[in-house]
Amino acid sequence: MFGLMGKILRVNLTDRNIFQEEIPEEMAKKYLGGRGLASRYLFDEVKPKISPLGPENKLIFMSGLLTGTLSPSAARYSVVAKSPLTHIWAQSNSGGRWGVDLKQSGFDGIIFEGISEKPVCLVIDDEEVELRDAGDLWGKNVSETTGMLKETLGEKFNVASIGMAGENLVKYAAIMNDLHRAAGRCGLGAVMGSKRLKAVAVKGRKEIKIADKNTFKEVSKKQYDLLGENILGAGLQGYGTNLVLDIVNVCGGLPTRNWQTGVCTYAEEINGEALNEKVLVEAVGCFACPIKCGRDTEIKKGPYKGLKGEGPEYETVAIFGAMCDNSDMEAITMANYLCNDYGLDTISCGSTIAFTMECFEKGILTKDHAEGMEICFGDSETIVALVHKIAKREGVGDLLAEGTRVMAQRLGQGSERFAMNVKGLELPAYDSRAAKITGLAFATANRGGDHITGYVQGPTYLASPFLVIEESEIQDPLMENPEEAKVVKDLEDALTVFDALGLCKFMGMTSDAQEITRIISAVTGWAFGVDEFRRIGERIYNLERVFNIREGLTRADDTLPKRLLEDPLPEGPAEGHVNHLDSFLDPYYEFRGWDKATGKPTPEKLKELGLGDVIGQIYGGEAE
């Protein structure tokens, strides 16, 4: 098989049985790799309603079809499981180099089953596989775990691991690789911790076979050139993803004080330029990436002076900054370092802290809840202190470790109104009242409140259309145009394919679908066109939706927090605006071929996509 290595590794942690399995080529053609293949395995092998932290859940690592090739930005891998945070389908995605090293070790992916009696780590050395005791690593954070494994195994091994947050089953714990890169969303680090799997160390230099090397080189070079010439690529290289903070703020959509307003008055203290001046050391990138949007940083003053790491990215700055009403870039950077080392999703962690601050402000959460702590907006020392408490589940951190949905359920008193999550997953830092189409993307994302699934920030906040779809223009971000629901559907499908290929989604702003399909054909030798590209994305997206329907999700779950639906923005360019989500949902379901009353994909749509075998899972005898 070209492109893929053609094999997965199956590891039963309960009985320590390990064996290799071939990937059927027809299955690869239908789901490609990465998120697509992993989701199909998860759907087939995980029963409905199982406990996300129990032995029946499976944790699936899968590199993309193009991961490890020299296609630009082809560095990414996906992790898929049932989420302990949302209790539905979950996928997290990470770059760096770990996914490349996994693939070059001879395997496209790993399926972990069961629960180990004792802490273990998996070591893969060019197809030589061993489960090792990890008792000495348990209780260590990511940096120490990585260092100890490299000292034992050798510097050429690359490590994906959890820190204390994953061990302590924090519901939004991350899996970290390359020290600073995160498979961050949905709490998959907690799934890894529940299995007592501390780390996966990989090394390999096996060749990834390319079917048509000449065409592959030609198209890949063109993509590198396009990325190098693109103004967004230049901006990302110069300022990292925090480039967008000023843009979002100018639009009135930078969530501030837990989404109470969309205007941050001190944006110049935490924007891309401020990050460069205060903490930047140099730009860094993932494998085969010409952009280098990552930031190597060092805190140069204050109580955390001298500490070094990578980041923060835009989401982290906006959430630990504006959302917590905090202008202290050094404290934001420190919170980011701690999240990376403990293994925490910065979006969910910072958002939960901001929610806690508003609960404290409103008297819903008191000093008695917090062992005498005052948890006030703008208090940078408290932000840093809470990250420690969350990861260790100490004191009030034990409550915060559950995420905003569970916190609101326990605290009550109307706090669910401003618990800023969708389906249990905390929202990223784009206020959809200032860019309405993002609200539809948040509401319909299969993993919950998420910006990367549909990534409509491109044609809205960033004013940078995605070339990978045909209809990416948003006429007016402040208007709900039902026809624009198709933009969300098309982007969801196209960018799902990117996750299956292992590509960075910034590629979607510089590459059209025709060029991507030329790369796929050159790598695999398959006859592969734009129609199949779109069909595969739609197939994977619908399969994930069926997984969620099987778990009990309905149309009622495709919604937004009441603050976004009922509370107008108080100031800025979007003053007075709320989300009128219903004007988008019906046309979105129609474009998708989903039943408008239930949100289920229709039997006809599933058959059309080659998913007739899953119809009975959500319809039973109804579909006959």
Task: Summarize pLDDT for 69-80 with one digit per residue, the tens.
Answer: 999 899 999 999
Alpha helices in 328-448 (DSSP H): 329-342, 346-361, 380-392, 397-400, 404-411, 436-444
**Separation between Cα atoms, residue 244 and residue 457, nearest integer Å:** 10
Residue where the block lists tokens 């796929």: 520
Distance CA 545, CA 602 (A): 11
Percent of the chain at pLDDT above 90? 89
This prediction's pTM:
0.97
Answer for the pair 110, 60: CB distance below 8 angstroms, yes or no.
yes
Are 306 and 299 in contact by the 8 Å Cβ rule? The answer is yes
The reported pLDDT for the residue numbered 563 is 98
Order of strands, edge to edge, in the sheet holding 158-161?
Answer: 128-133, 120-125, 197-203, 158-161, 175-177, 181-183
- Between CA 278 and CA 450 the distance in angstroms is 29
Beta-bridged to residue 19, according to DSSP, are: 10
| Mean pLDDT, rounded, for 284-289 | 92
Strand order in the sheet with 59-63: 17-22, 7-12, 109-113, 59-63, 77-82, 89-94
Summarised one tens digit per residue, pLDDT across range 146-195 is: 999 999 999 999 999 999 999 999 999 999 999 999 999 999 999 999 99
Angle at 514 between CA 508 and CA 517, to 5 degrees: 90
Contacts of 528 (CB under 8 A, 6+ apart): 517, 520, 521
Would you say 509 and 232 are in contact if contact means Cβ atoms under 8 Å apart?
A: yes
* Alpha carbon separation from 402 to 245, 314, 405 (Å, rounded): 28, 24, 8
Report the candidate in 345, 299, 359, 347 with the shortest Cα–Cα distance to residue 323. 347
The Cα 36–Cα 41 span in angstroms is: 9
pLDDT at 471: 65
Confidence of residue 57 (pLDDT cuts 50, 70, 90): very high
Q: Which amino acid is at 538?
A: E
| Class of the domain covering 238-426 | mainly alpha
Task: For CA atoms 593, 597, 598, 599, give the dihedral sign.
Answer: positive
Structural domain spans, the chain: 7-203, 238-426, 436-623
Asked if pLDDT for residue 623 goes beyond 70, the answer is: no
Question: What's 593's DSSP letter?
Answer: T
Q: Which range, of 141-145, 227-231, 376-380, 543-547, averages the lowest pLDDT?
A: 227-231
Q: Which is it for the CA torsion 444, 450, 451, 453, positive or negative?
A: negative
Buried b (16+ CB within 10 A) or exposed e, 15-45: eeeeeeeebeeeebebbbbbbbbbbbbbbee
Minimum mean pLDDT range among 505-509, 532-536, 588-592: 505-509
Q: How far apart are the C-alpha atoms of 93 and 505, rounded to whole Å?
A: 11
What pLDDT sits at residue 474?
85
Q: What are phi and psi of 301, to 5 degrees?
A: -155, 170
Fold of the domain built from segment(s) 436-623: 1.10.599
CATH of domain 7-203: 3.60.9.10
| Averaged pLDDT for residues 285-305 | 94
In this predicted structure, what is the pLDDT of residue 472?
63
Give per-residue pLDDT as tens, 498-517.
Answer: 999 999 988 877 788 999 99
In Å, how far are 402, 491, 549, 582, 606 from 443, measured between CA atoms?
21, 14, 15, 11, 22
Evaluate whether 510 touches 214 at the Cβ level (below 8 Å).
no
6: number of Cβ within 10 Å: 17
pLDDT of residue 621: 61
The reply to whether domains 238-426 and 436-623 share a CATH topology is no
Two tokens at 369?
A: 């809840």
Tens-digit pLDDT profile for residues 596-618:
999 999 999 999 999 999 999 99
* pLDDT tens per residue across span 435-473: 999 999 999 999 999 999 999 987 788 777 788 887 667
If one compares 584 and 472, the residue with the highest pLDDT of the two is 584
